[in-house]
Chains A and B, each alone.
Chain A
Amino acid sequence: SQQGEEDPQALSIQEGENATMNCSYKTSINNLQWYRQNSGRGLVHLILIRSNEREKHSGRLRVTLDTSKKSSSLLITASRAADTASYFCATTSGSARQLTFGSGTQLTVLP
């Protein structure tokens, strides 16, 4: 079963705008990761934030984590058409080694 829910399910923006995607999860976590999946392709790891961290940056990506609200957000600044993809949050919990994924946000960046 899915651990989390992404919000919105779909997002369409113009190139150059910022895109914000949210993820909520249900159980306490060890870390939370964001992945990108281009249509018909595998998942690519973007960024990881640990449960004791609140914010992390990587290039045009900014991730925040609020463990009290069991939620995370991914901000992509100055979006490009190449950012068009599905974005998934994924968590690890307890001693389980596997990732538990949310349902994803489909981002479309219009040129």
Chain B
Amino acid sequence: GAGVSQSPRYKVAKRGQDVALRCDPISGHVSLFWYQQALGQGPEFLTYFQNEAQLDKSGLPSDRFFAERPEGSVSTLKIQRTQQEDSAVYLCASSLLALGPLSGNTIYFGEGSWLTVV
């Protein structure tokens, strides 16, 4: 597709349920990022992939959060045993080159997956 695509757009999960959020980056983009955005706040970094390699997962808030990109294209963010504080928008972004925004390379964001944990 022309842009970064995320699914589902909206997800309501019961506390304790596992969820999986999918990201289809722009075709050929090497870098892929996941961000978490709480209501009224700026996005916060979760994790970064260069192709299939997860090079930075320092932003994942707990071991309940897990991300993968097994073939270097589509990525999945999985949250196990969801809790109310996990309610947020999860944004995926991709950029063409390996350095991403560090080199000034533009990164493109998807429209996010809105997760509400009840």
Binding site for B on A (CB under 8 A): 1-2, 30-31, 33, 35, 40-45, 48, 50, 88, 90, 92, 95-104
Report A-chain residues with C-beta under 8 Å of the C-beta of B42. 2, 88, 90, 101-104
Enumerate 27 A-B pairs (CB-CB under 8 Å) in ascending A order: A2-B42, A30-B102, A31-B101, A31-B102, A42-B91, A45-B106, A45-B108, A50-B104, A88-B43, A92-B101, A92-B102, A96-B102, A97-B31, A97-B48, A97-B56, A97-B99, A97-B101, A98-B33, A98-B45, A98-B101, A99-B101, A101-B35, A101-B42, A102-B42, A103-B41, A103-B42, A104-B40
Smallest beta-carbon distance B112→chain A, Å: 6
What's the Cα separation between A95 and B56 when bound, in Å? 11
Interface string of B44-73 (1 = CB under 8 A from A): 110010000001100100000000000000
Report A-chain residues with C-beta under 8 Å of the C-beta of B44. 1-2, 101
Q: Is the CB of A98 within 8 A of B109?
A: no
Q: Is the CB of B56 within 8 A of A99?
A: no
Q: Is the CB of A41 within 8 A of B111?
A: yes
Report B-chain residues with C-beta under 8 Å of the C-beta of A44. 109
Q: Is B25 an interface residue (CB 8 A)?
A: no
Option from B41, B45, B108, B112 in Cβ contact (under 8 Å) with A99? B45
Across the interface, name the chain B residue whose C-beta is closest to A93. Answer: B102
What's the Cα separation between A101 and B110 when bound, in Å? 16
Across the interface, name the chain B residue whose C-beta is closest to A106. Answer: B40
What's the Cα separation between A50 and B111 when bound, in Å? 26
Q: Is B107 an interface residue (CB 8 A)?
A: yes
Across the interface, name the chain A residue whose C-beta is closest to B47. Answer: A98
The verdict on A98 contacting B48 (CB below 8 Å), with A42-B4, A45-B107, A50-B104 known, is yes
